Structure formats: structure tokens, C-alpha cells
Amino acid sequence: MSQELVAIGGGGFLMEDLSGLQERYLLTLLRRRATRPRALFLGTASGDGERAQLRFMKLFTALGCEPSTLPFFPYEMKRDYGQAVRDADLVYVGGGNTVAMVAVWREFGFDADLHAAWQDGTLLCGISAGANCWFERYITDSVPGGGTREGLGWVPGTFCPHLDSEPWRQPLLEQAGPPAYGAPDGVMVRFAGGRFVEAVTSREGRQAVRKSDGPAQALDTRLLAA
């Protein structure tokens, strides 16, 4: 079964873009065509802030989904977190502190739940910290001065979000070993089984980049239709 994963550099409903372009693209990738796809939001990286959860619920309801959230702050002791992600068609991970989020997931064994759901066909996607976490390494502002840290390791290489809006990130991307991917705000990079499939953008003129043996090179990046 295809293991689909989408890493989002920035933009979307969490960054004031309520056009729904990014989110409608995600829904085209679902393993099954449900009447009301089940979309689950993880706001762990931002401490489960209410604003992000409400935005997710509002937009994905408007897109015809059955949305829900899965908070760790506070932790819902009687809830089956593993079943919640296995039941979802789409899991969307919000931005914030990647280092803290990954640590929380590992403490609760939740990374294993996510991995099992992904292997079973649940679409995993996320923005900023929610994009970083899937890779072997990621470039982050979640540490003093910014730096590179280890992620869950499900996608080979390094990922860097917000490539165009935070100039300090570009040199770290160039220093990373191959493969390394960078995504400006508005750009989404899709993988299947850990392998690159395509890059798309909701903002005209924005392109993903990939670093192989030499300097990072722009990838063909398809503009999503309004």
C-alpha cells in the first residue's frame, strides 16, 4: 500500500491563507474516496493551541470532511490515541517546536502509532514542524540560533521549511548531506514510500529545491489551480 506523506514549507490555513488550495490538494491523495473523509489535527508542536485547532475544524468541515483533534495538552487518558490515527484518512500536523513535539510523541509511544497508520495507508502531512518531523534530519528554529536535528527518519535526508522567509536557513541547507529538500512558504513536497514524487505550490513563482551532489537546485513545481 502506498505510504503517502506531504511536507509543507509554510502557508495554508495556519498562516492566514484560507483559500483552501493546499488542503484541497491533500484530499485528492486520500487512499479511499469517502463521502466525508476523516481528517485529524495534531497541534502538539504548539502546545495544542486552541486557535489552530479551531481553524482546522472550520476549514476541513467546509471542505466536506469529518474533522477532529488529538491533543496531548492535556492528555486524554481514556482516549485510544493509536486507534484515533488508524481511523483517520488524513493526519495534519501543525507547526511549532519540532524538538519538543518529537520528544512528546516518543515518550508516549505515539510515533509508533503514526508509523503503523502511515504503513496502512493514512496520509500524513504537516507544515513547518509538522513537515520536519518525518525526515532523518531537519533544519529548525526550535534550538538556540537555529540548527539541524534528527527527526523520525521515515523519509531519507534533510528537510527545511520556510526557505524563502528566513534567510539563515539557506546556508544550513547547503551544508546538509544529500538528499536535502527545501520548501518556501506555499510549497508542498510529496513523497510515497519515502521517495520524492512531486512538488506543488499555492503561490505563483515559488519552487521547492533539492540538494544532491552539488548546490541545491530548483525542482519543477506545479502551480495549484484556484
Active site residue 128: yes
Q: Which residues contact 142 (CB under 8 A, 6 or more apart)?
A: 97, 98, 99, 100, 129, 149
- Give the SS3 label for residue 80: coil
Active site residue 68: no
The whole-angstrom separation of Cα 29 and Cα 216 is 27
Q: Which of 46, 142, 162, 202 is catalytic?
A: 162
Peptide bond into 167 cis (omega under 30): no
Cβ contact 182:191 at 8 Å: no
Cβ contact 187:200 at 8 Å: yes
Other CB atoms within a 10 A radius of the CB of residue 33 amount to 9
Q: Which of 19, 46, 68, 128 is catalytic?
A: 128
User: For cell 502531512, what's the residue?
Assistant: 125
Residue 77's region, left for phi above 0, alpha for psi from -120 to 50, else beta, is: alpha
The whole-angstrom separation of Cα 101 and Cα 49 is 13
Peptide bond into 74 cis (omega under 30): yes
Which amino acids are annotated catalytic? 128, 162
